[in-house]
Structure formats: structure tokens, C-alpha cells
Amino acid sequence: MQPIQYAIIGGTGVYDSSLSSYQKSVQTEYGGVEVEIAEVQGKQVVFLPRHGKQHGIPPHLINYRANIKALHELGVQQIFATAAVGSLNPDYPTGSLVVISDFIDTTKQRPLTFFEGGSAGVKHVNMDDPYCCNLRKQLLETAKLHGLKLAGAAVYICTEGPRFETEAEIKIMRQWGADVVGMTSVPEVILAKELGMCYASVGFVVNMATGMESGAIQFDKIEEILASNKEKVNMMFLDIFSKILNQQACQCSDSIVSL
């Protein structure tokens, strides 16, 4: 099978409607993964719904290593992801789209690496540019053409979930410099980098985080926000892929330090 260079994680919807696609099972040492492969302007793109096709896998139980390994085995070099997030930053109100630029990890019980020592040795991955600078630049340059407004760059704090945060936690997270909170970007972004793949993510702000507004946290706009942006954002990703990116403008494929 020819390698497939591009992938979209979390991008359900596009292949259901306008693109012809086929399903494929990929077996990895971490488990099996179901993906959808679509043909877009003569190029193949892998779609991987992070929570499963029926949205049945909660964030703390996603098999992140199997997902990323499966993409790598298919030949993927560039990944765009989407993530629903809560906002800690009043400049990013509900409905905003943000480009995730960095992360803070507060997860507790997820396998975080492919590097387990033994005969493979001790390896570390650089985190100076966790979200590929090249892909992020392309997002900023391409959004307007697709009628999308990106509100800015955002530091993502990843919680274990599946519960939401307490008000006291959000207060601390704001002091740490977090702009948005979610439950899935870690370890996804780390694992992609460990395998030398470029990864960037667009956050959909679906609510203000706990305590950011008076009264109970409001989730009533989630469906509307996802539905009104998903298709356009996926089209933007496909447009960027069609420009044939190479990895010369970033260091993602060379991020491993062996000690």
C-alpha cells in the first residue's frame, strides 16, 4: 500500500457527506484502530475519529498510542486535529476558534510515551515546538479564505477527565497561563512528535470554564458550535494538505534525544 501522508483526527463529518471513502482496520502492537480513508483531489487523507465513530470512548480511555501508531504505520507525516475546549481567557469567548500553541499536562493515568526503555534505550522528545510551527503558520494564512476567524494562539491545559474542573482548579490554571482546557491533546501531541510527525490542533471553544461566568457552566451551544465550524475547518485542513507541505520548515521529524 502507498503511504498516506496526511491525517485529520477528530474530523468526523467530511467523509460522511461529500467525499468518497473506505474504511480500514489497522493493527498495531497497542491495539487495533478503525480509520476512514478519503480521496481528496487525487491525494489520500486518513480520518480518525478520536472518540470512535459512535463517540463511545471517553477521553481518559482513548487508546492514544494505538491511534498515533496506526497513523504512523499508514505513512502519515502531517496531522491536523480538532478539540472541543473550555475557555479560561475572556478574549476567547464561547464560539471562538483558537490555534493551540503549547500545553500544560495535568493528566494522571495515561501512557504518555512509546519509549519504554529496554533494548530501545532511553529516549526523550523535545517539546520546544509541540504544535508544529509550520502547520500553525499555514492555519493562520489559510483561515480567512475559508470564512473562518481564528481568535489567536492558546495554551491548552489537559486534564484527566472525564469530570470537569472545579472553580478553584480553574483559578490556579489561569495563574499558570492556560487559555483553554480540554481532556485529549495530551498525550496525542506528544506521541505524534515521538514518531516524528507534524501535529497541529484547532480548539473549538464550546463553553467558558467552570467559574468563568456567574452561575452554572453553560453547555447549550456545543452542538451548534461544532456543527457550524466542523465542515469549514476540515475543508481548511484539506486545502492546506493540497499545498504539499514538506517538513523542511520545522524540526518535528528530528525531535528525539537519546541519552
Residues of the shown chain interacting with ligand HPA in the complex, contacts defined by CB under 6 A: 84-86, 159, 164-165, 181-183, 206-207, 209
The minimum distance between CB 245 and ligand HPA, in angstroms, equals: 28
User: Which lies closer to ligand HPA via its Cβ, residue 134 or residue 159?
Assistant: 159
Residue 130's nearest CA partner among 86, 192, 202 is: 192
Which residue minimizes CB distance to ligand HPA? 86
Minimum CB distance to ligand HPA, residue 223 (Å): 13
Residue whose CB is less far from ligand HPA, 181 or 190: 181
Distance, C-alpha 234 to centroid of its chain: 12
Q: Indicate the residue type of 74.
A: L
Euclidean distance between CA atoms 96 and 208, whole angstroms: 11
Cβ-in-10-Å burial (0-12, 13-18, 19+) of 181 comes to buried
**H-helix or E-strand containing 206?**
strand 198-208
Question: What are 71's three cell numbers?
Answer: 497513523
Closest to ligand HPA by CB, 112 or 226: 226
Nearer to ligand HPA, 143 or 225 (CB): 225
Instruction: Tell me whether residue 31 or residue 162 sits nearer to ligand HPA (CB atom).
Output: 162
Nearest approach, Cβ of 242 to ligand HPA (angstroms)?
A: 30
Percentages (nearest 5) of helix, strand, coil residues in the chain: 30, 30, 40
Shortest CB 92 distance to ligand HPA, Å: 12
In whole angstroms, the minimum distance from the beta carbon of 7 to ligand HPA comes to 22
